[in-house]
Amino acid sequence: MTASGSKVVTRDLEATNGIVHLIDQVMYPIPDKDIIQTCAQRPSLTQLVYSIVRANLQNDLVGGPFTVFAPLDSAFDALPTGYLNTEFLTLDKARNLIEYHYVKGTYYSVGLHDGDSVTTSQGTDVTIHINNGKVMVNNATVVEANIPVTNGVIHVIDTVLVPSKHMDLVNAVDPVGR
């Protein structure tokens, strides 16, 4: 059980005026920006924001709550040359790619366990791996976890998650691999 990203270590302690849950850290201040606003303020997430707008998903990320696995700009730069070119990455494929980076619900890292699978908005699962405290989503390492936003949480990752149905596209633009 978690509370705004803090692990509940003891719960349901009765007090004279209610119930108390003890947590393992100080809770964050209440966030005042949503997913897109928060990503737009971070210089290392500009390509994600561009991709969200290009895929026309900004309205889909209103409401929530959502958990976003946000690739760094360097992760987008590591994609095969031409992958993000509109000739290869149609609007539908761009939507599919970005939808593979967020899930419904709020998943702070403390509430994730090795082997957990979560279903992305794209419709397929990503798998969580935890080894020596390092959290991974499929093959991407979480480099900054638990960024609270008004409509969920953001985890910054070092690799763009590519759905298996996009591998033919990756191979088309980079047939020998990098």
φ/ψ of 147, rounded to 5, equals: -85, 110
> Above 50 in pLDDT, residue 98?
yes
Question: What is the rounded average pLDDT of the residues 132-156?
Answer: 95
Same domain, 23 and 42: no
Greater confidence, 173 or 96? 96
The alpha carbon of 107 is separated from its chain's Cα centroid by a whole number of angstroms, namely 9
31 three-state secondary structure = coil
* Residue 166: per-residue pLDDT: 59
Same domain, 81 and 163: yes
Domain range for 154: 31-173
Contact, 32 vs 71, CB < 8 A? no
Same domain, 93 and 120: yes
In a domain, 178, yes or no: no
| DSSP character string of 49-60 | HHHHHHTT-TTT
Work out the number of other CB atoms within 10 angstroms of the CB of residue 143.
17
Same domain, 15 and 38: no
Same domain, 5 and 53: no
pLDDT band at residue 8 under the 50/70/90 scheme: confident
For the entire predicted model, the pTM comes to 0.81
What single-letter DSSP state applies at residue 47? Answer: H
φ/ψ of 116, rounded to 5, equals: -60, 145
Same domain, 63 and 24: no
Q: Identify which of 54, 55, 60 has the alpha carbon closest to the alpha carbon of residue 34.
A: 60
User: Which CATH number is 94's domain given?
Assistant: 2.30.180.10
Digit-coded pLDDT (tens) for 40-72: 999 999 999 999 998 999 999 998 899 999 999
* Residue 178: per-residue pLDDT: 47
> Above 90 in pLDDT, residue 84?
no
* Residue 58: per-residue pLDDT: 92
Same domain, 37 and 25: no
Greater confidence, 170 or 133? 133
Same domain, 135 and 155: yes
Greater confidence, 172 or 150? 150
pLDDT band at residue 94 under the 50/70/90 scheme: confident
